[in-house]
Structure 1
Amino acid sequence: MKKLAIYTAILLLAIGGIGSGYYLSQSADMEPTDKLRIAMSTTPLSAPIIIARQLEIFKKHKIDVELMPFRGGHLCFEAMITGQADLATSSESVVMFNSFERQDFRLLASFVESDNDLKLITYGTDEKPAITDLNHRKIGMVKASASEFFVDAFLIITGQHDLNIEKVYLPPQDLGPALIAGDVDAISVWEPFGYQLNRAHPDKIYQFPSKGTYNLSFNLVSTQQHAQSHYRQHVKVLKAIDEAQLFIAKYPLQAKQIISEYLKVPLNELEWTWSDYVFRLSLNNSLLSNLQTQGRWAVAREKTIALSVPDFRTLLNDKALRHVLESGKED
């Protein structure tokens, strides 16, 4: 609690608060506090939401947020669709795959991006391997996910799209053990699995240079109905996230300490990927282009029974986001 009080005091200075008693001094006749449940993936990518909750920024904006932790954006999305949560955090890949099955959800905003979250890794080699060394080799990946899309995109970008590889589909937590056991020759895996492998086998792990191959975005998603009927709440949530991102920019060390404690992740593990994260609110053409690219890939590779790509523009609802960004310019 002492640490939380210190972080809160720092935050109030950072965002122009009016004193440590700000949250407690709200008068009784002000608007009532709204309650909202957010299904949140337990990854550092959720940092702005965690910080907004831990530093009570949500409360400043008169919204009582309950964080519901899940291991993966697909589980968060499912919790939102089934009514267990009001909002969910999700990568654009989860959005893409679900869009082939349903159209009753909306993308409210992206709040973090990374162009280096996925890695293509080999093990046990004494010499730096070439991409062509993967010819006729087994590559472990998570089926119909960003992990599989990343492999195909990487081979295309490096001019090796005709490489003959054998795809071995595994759950993400089984990829590392399969690589070490020699069941596969390389794996496509997201963080923190790459960090964990490098830490456990520092002299045996080789990561192919792939920064910029795939641009992951983490997004805030709601059902279509919730987006239509809870616009005011969504504005509050996004304003709080925006202020949390300001705190991250001004006080990165304190931000990492908060995330480390909340997720029970060592600080050195956070440092491994933190510099790759770009924390900002957006909902732009790059996200739409990314969705379309992945959608075309899913159709071409028959990862879906659909014969055409959905119109992803219909899934974007930037009304609350535009309000927040425009009000920020006025400030």
Structure 2
Amino acid sequence: MVRIAASAVAALIAITIAIVWLSRAPPAPEPLTIAVANNFIGVPLWVAERRGFFAAEGLTATLQRLPSGKLALEAMLRGEAEVATVAETPLVFAALTGKPLRVIATYAGSGEHAIVARADRGISRVADLRGRRVGVLIGTTVHYFLHVMLIDQGLTETDITLVDLPAAEQAPALAAGQVDAVATLAPFTIQCRRALGEAARTFPMGRHYWGYASLAVAPDLPQRRPEAIGRLLRALDRTIGWMRTHPHEAMQVAMSELNVEGAVIEELWERLGFNLALDQGLVMLLQSQARWAIASGSAPGQPMPDFRALIDPSSLVRLRPGSVTITPPR
């Protein structure tokens, strides 16, 4: 009887130990597919993948690399990805056409837009674009940036001929003389300058515009998969902290992914601000761009959305409550 009792106690202890061990075991990895724009707003995602920050947070992230945030958002809306990295202009057009989406965080600022023009066609300032053919990927942040640059010189889009050009086709079109200038962003600005050589004239963004890199998801994803979204935000938070203390290593990742030289990366790096947040500036920029889209006829007859309702801060509030400063919708 004593032996049986001792065996039972030993078995009970073993079971208890097993239960405690299992309770402390790391949770099962959460899969998540992320459509990532193949430009500078993709850098934190690539760093997180390479440095193992996704895996450290229990996330099995699959990164789909796409040429632009507009295409990344479209992939998410088609259900080909669960998260998209995208700047604000595609969000505006999606909201104006009633597409179902939510912004759960912004994680970077964007200040690398520029107009690259052919000086050999007499373009020495932005005002010289009057009557010219200008290539731009319509419906993106560079489209709005072009609008702002023109307004600053007393011009409108009716004073130029807009040519809808995917970013990858802009340098060849510029070199072949199919367009007189392009509005674009890094790394395509570099490609355009190289294609023209000494004939290139560049008009950088300067003070004219500052954008946001956002994470966009389906409206129900934060409630349907809260753990996956939480792990994504924690991984990006760790990544941004690491990038701030290891800027040169982060630049190496950008060089590798974008296939550009270190000098180019260093020149642009200071115009990128990495920070996990949701602030009122995003709402104001979305509203401003929506007014432009409606007034320009790009979204004719559409009512102005309440962009505060487009933003779901619930996941970020749990991680960093102080980083959310957006006024909630009424």
| Residue identity matched to 1:122 | A
> Which shifted more, 170-179 or 234-243?
170-179
Unaligned runs of 5+ in 2: 1-21, 324-330
Candidates 131, 140, 144, aligned match of 2:135: 140
Change (3 A) 1:206 1:322: same
For 1:23, the equivalent position in structure 2 comes to: none
Provide, for residues 9-31 of structure 1, a one-character-per-residue CA deviation record: whole Å limited to 9, x for no partner. xxxxxxxxxxxxxxxxx986332
Q: Aligned partners of 1:264, 1:141: CA distance in 2, in Å?
A: 22
Candidates 63, 68, 71, aligned match of 1:72: 68
Task: Give the conservation status (yes or no) of the 8 Å contact 1:198–1:205.
Answer: yes
For 1:157, the equivalent position in structure 2 comes to: 152
Pairing 1:90-239 to 2, within 5 Å after superposition: 90-115=86-111, 117-125=112-120, 129-161=124-156, 164-239=159-234
Unaligned runs of 5+ in 1: 1-25
Residue 103 (structure 1) shift:
4.4
For 1:85, the equivalent position in structure 2 comes to: 81
Q: Aligned partners of 1:160, 1:85: CA distance in 2, in Å?
A: 39
| Residue identity matched to 2:221 | H
SS at match of 1:168: strand
Q: Aligned partners of 2:322, 2:280: CA distance in 1, in Å?
A: 21
Q: Aligned partners of 2:189, 2:33: CA distance in 1, in Å?
A: 31
Provide, for residues 125-178 of structure 1, a one-character-per-residue CA deviation record: whole Å limited to 9, x for no partner. 498823332222222222233232222211222344498322233332333233
Change (3 A) 1:209 1:38: closer
Q: TM-score, normalised by structure 1?
A: 0.83
Quick check: 1:57 aligned with 2:53?
Answer: yes
Q: Which has a greater percent of helix?
A: 2
| Residue identity matched to 2:239 | A
Change (3 A) 1:27 1:256: farther
Change (3 A) 1:173 1:262: closer
For 1:11, the equivalent position in structure 2 comes to: none
For 1:39, the equivalent position in structure 2 comes to: 35
Change (3 A) 1:227 1:181: same
Quick check: 1:249 aligned with 2:244?
Answer: yes
Q: Aligned partners of 1:146, 1:295: CA distance in 2, in Å?
A: 12
SS at match of 1:296: helix
Task: Give the conservation status (yes or no) of the 8 Å contact 2:29–2:60.
Answer: yes
Q: Aligned partners of 1:192, 1:303: CA distance in 2, in Å?
A: 27
For 1:21, the equivalent position in structure 2 comes to: none
SS at match of 1:40: strand
Q: Aligned partners of 2:235, 2:295: CA distance in 1, in Å?
A: 40
SS at match of 1:224: coil
- Matched residues, number: 303
Change (3 A) 1:327 1:29: farther
Quick check: 1:311 aligned with 2:306?
Answer: yes
Pairing 1:3-14 to 2, within 5 Å after superposition: none
Identity over aligned pairs, percent: 26
Change (3 A) 1:182 1:325: same
- Larger Cα-atom Rg: 2
Task: Give the conservation status (yes or no) of the 8 Å contact 2:172–2:195.
Answer: no
| Residue identity matched to 1:318 | P
Q: Aligned partners of 1:270, 1:209: CA distance in 2, in Å?
A: 15
> Which shifted more, 59-68 or 292-301?
59-68
Residue 262 (structure 1) shift:
4.1
Task: Give the conservation status (yes or no) of the 8 Å contact 1:39–1:69.
Answer: yes
For 2:10, the equivalent position in structure 1 comes to: none
SS at match of 1:297: helix
> Which shifted more, 165-174 or 296-305?
165-174
